[in-house]
Amino acid sequence: MDLFDVRNYQYTLPDELIAAEPLQQRDRSRLLVVNRRSRTWEHRIFSEIPTILDPGTVLVANNTRVIRARLLGEREATGGKVEFFMLRRVESGCWEGLMKTGARVVPGFQFRIPDREGNWVRAEVIRREDSPAGVILTAKFSRDPVDADIGEVPLPPYIVAKRKEWGPEELETYNTVFGTQAGSVAAPTAGRHFTPELITGLKVAGMDWQELTLHVGIGTFKPVSVPDVRDHVMHAEPVEITSKVAETLNASKRAGRTVLAVGTTTTRALEGRSVPGSKGFDLIPGTSDVNLFIHPGAAYEWKFVDAMITNFHLPGSTLLMMVASFIGDLGFTLRVYEEAVQERYRFYSYGDAMLVLDR
């Protein structure tokens, strides 16, 4: 099997298995537990995780919080519809993002967004970057869109297509219960399955819970549009790991404890901030951009992550490729996905979860 051919990362998914509605109880989602060493799996419920994981396991989660990143407005000159999708705050009132409009957008393009009181927040595009990762625009707003609360919940397109309508409370539903650091345009969905009670139960069972921050942007979800996956360019996303968390995780690794990454964003943050140390690899604290693209066939040496929780991902996506690399066998990974389809698991952001262990 050619591990660089994007066609080999496809699988058949019935449309009805794409979850458009979240479960009422987050931790009642199904959990497909995969042993990457023995090439076996079993079917469980997510709330059973404290009984599945070994005491001493350190769970690392992404505490980012989704913002109302989808701005719907109009062009100043013509009144034509405009959609600006915020990706990253450059400074207060200045955001990088993507835009949908009928006109070609260049610096000087002006548009406006209504606030909740019917007043306008005005904006002007001040920079255009035509990069391999896509066209990124920088717009300066008269008021910061987050402070002005003018955005809509940035639900994924496949949820929007199925549901059409949702209320303002959807932002809390879409976010994780532990998300505190605002800045993402999409939820780190593997973390959505946790409840405060479940996190407490993990700690009581002898496990540790640590958090870092990776603000999810286009880098996570940009589709692979090239035939050879080696030609795909990841867009960078900002990562922050505190000194305290780095010290704790480094000590845990040296003690031989299992480090479990909650989600692909946490995985990318941990792997992207790991460097060779005196005893294996060390996690480096601080803030930096990470554009790490992990995929099979790249002879990637996994550094820090020993186990992973993840949802089920889009065919041909960089997330599926990362999971296949971690499992270590693309063919087996696709068989796991076939099992999930056959057993009617729920897929994507509001779907069920997979736990990949190495036992």
Q: For residue 350, what are the CA distances in angstroms to 23, 185, 346? A: 8, 15, 8
Question: Out of 128-142, 224-238, 267-281, which region has the weakest mean confidence (pLDDT)?
Answer: 128-142
- For the chain, the average pLDDT equals 94
Rounded Cα–Cα distance for residues 229 and 316 (Å): 9
List, by residue range, all CATH 2.40.10.240 domains of the chain.
Answer: 70-148
Whose tokens are 């109880």? That residue is 25
pLDDT of residue 166: 82
Query: What does the block give as tokens for 32?
Result: 């497909």
List, by residue range, all CATH 3.40.1780.10 domains of the chain.
Answer: 6-66+171-357
Question: Out of 97-111, 175-189, 251-265, 283-297, which region has the weakest mean confidence (pLDDT)?
Answer: 97-111
Q: What DSSP letter does each residue of 172-240 carry, written as one string? A: HHHS-TT--EEEESS--GGGGG--HHHHHHHHHTT-EEEEEEE---HHHH----SSBGGG--PPPEEEE
pLDDT tens per residue across span 4-43: 999 999 999 999 999 999 999 999 999 999 999 999 999 9
Q: Does pLDDT of 132 surpass 70?
A: no
CB 323 within 8 A of CB 333: yes
pLDDT of residue 133: 58
Nearest to 355 by CA among 262, 272, 257, 216: 262
The amino acid that residue 225 corresponds to is S
Under CATH, which number does the domain 70-148 receive? 2.40.10.240
Query: What does the block give as tokens for 327?
Result: 């499992």
pLDDT tens per residue across span 298-353: 889 999 999 999 999 999 999 999 999 999 999 999 999 999 999 999 999 999 99
What is the pTM for the complete model shown?
Answer: 0.94
Fold that domain 6-66+171-357 belongs to in CATH: QueA-like (3.40.1780)
135: left (phi > 0), else alpha (psi -120 to 50), else beta?
beta
